[in-house]
Structure 1
Amino acid sequence: MSKDNQNGSFAEMMSGVKPLSQDKHHHPKAAPKRIQVEEKQQRQLADSYFSDEFQPAMPDSGPVRYLRQGEDPFELKKLRRGDYTPDLMLDLHGYRTQEARFELIALIEECKKHHVHCACIMHGIGSGVLKQQIPSWLAQHPQVIGYHQAPLEWGGNGALLVLVDVGSEDGGHRR
């Protein structure tokens, strides 16, 4: 720079300079998608309903079965005979324990949403982890009226038919 330019005004020195264009982009955080919100709610529900330590009193012999206290015992007989036809099927073959918990919550929520009273859960036999854990989890859920090992046409020893109380949120019995 020469001495002449040092004494000149700023405007004179900046003449001919091209201004920079704005190159900053502000990206607002995207709102969580509905599916992500529902998955988070299902995880929270699974954690609040299901305990791995809880073991309900189950019969030692015969097929796997459970009936909520105060329910008509004839409901179990109807499940055993196959009088109820499941409207929803959940196949848990190949699922990990944690994934199966989320899927169970999703199944029960779908049953309530679509007023489905009977669903079939196919857990398979395999190593027996899901076969042992799923009945325990179902017995803890307030919307489950009862379940029974499925008849052969719905999976037999590797499946359960589940009755869901779709009438109320608090587990009260209304069908």
Structure 2
Amino acid sequence: MRENDDLSLFREIVKDVKPLEQNVFVPERKNLKKKLAIKEIREKEDTLFFFSDEYEPLLNEESAVKYLREGEDSYLLKQLRRGDFSPELFLDLHGLKKQEAKIELASLIQACEKEHICCASVMTGYGTFTLKRQVPRWLVQHPRVRALHQAPREWGGDAAILMLLDV
């Protein structure tokens, strides 16, 4: 009996209410694409922010290139050296100028973050040794890089660098 009273009371209250007209709004797709492109450019610029040419880390350049972020387990370097990690993305910097290589390196780190890839390989080659010396200096500045080591022979040897990322 109480339900009928509640229902009749409800109908009494809402009798003068007009129903809302349902309109369908379809947003334009081109603005979304433009916003995504702008977001991607900003992310790349944010990653490039970490790569300073003036920074001189304490890397022993006479032996194999290696770096371990503070607080990480030193066993990671041994695993990288032995080839326990298989790189899922490869970046070949042969023939690129310094600025182009910096942009490609930023794109690689960004792609690793998007795809949740923790190990990547960067082929620096020999050439004039400019990129071979500069790439590790850039990588140690990025907060996502946990460790890096000269690649084992099967992943490029001393012409490549394996890096572990925090993704």
The TM tier, using the shorter chain, reads 0.7 to 0.9
Task: Tell me the equivalent position of 2:81.
Answer: 80
Secondary structure of 1:147's partner?
strand
- C-alpha displacement of 1:34: 4.0
Unmatched tracts of structure 2, length 5 or more: 1-29
Matches of 1:68 and 1:156, distance apart in 2: 22
Q: Pairwise CA RMSD of aligned residues?
A: 1.7
Task: Tell me the equivalent position of 1:156.
Answer: 157
- C-alpha displacement of 1:40: 4.9
One-letter identity of the residue aligned with 2:40:
E
Matches of 1:33 and 1:70, distance apart in 2: 38
One-letter identity of the residue aligned with 1:38:
E
Equivalent of 1:38, from 8, 23, 40?
40
Task: Tell me the equivalent position of 2:127.
Answer: 126
Structure having greater relative contact order (Cα 8 Å, sep ≥ 6)? 2
Matches of 1:158 and 1:95, distance apart in 2: 15
Matches of 1:164 and 1:107, distance apart in 2: 11
Secondary structure of 1:132's partner?
helix
Secondary structure of 2:122's partner?
strand
Secondary structure of 1:98's partner?
helix
Secondary structure of 1:95's partner?
coil
What TM-score, normalized to structure 2? Answer: 0.75
Matches of 2:131 and 2:61, distance apart in 1: 18
Contact preservation (8 Å) 2:47, 2:110: no
Matches of 2:128 and 2:38, distance apart in 1: 31
Task: Tell me the equivalent position of 2:105.
Answer: 104
Pair member with larger Rg:
1
Task: Tell me the equivalent position of 2:21.
Answer: none
Task: Tell me the equivalent position of 1:16.
Answer: none
Aligned residues: 136
- C-alpha displacement of 1:42: 1.1
Which sits farther off after the overlay, 58-67 or 131-140? 58-67
Identity of paired residues, percent?
Answer: 49
Matches of 2:101 and 2:37, distance apart in 1: 18
Matches of 2:96 and 2:41, distance apart in 1: 16
CA 1:101/1:125 → structure 2, altered by over 3 Å: closer, same or farther? same
Unmatched tracts of structure 1, length 5 or more: 1-29, 167-175
Matches of 1:160 and 1:115, distance apart in 2: 19
Secondary structure of 1:102's partner?
helix
One-letter identity of the residue aligned with 1:111:
C
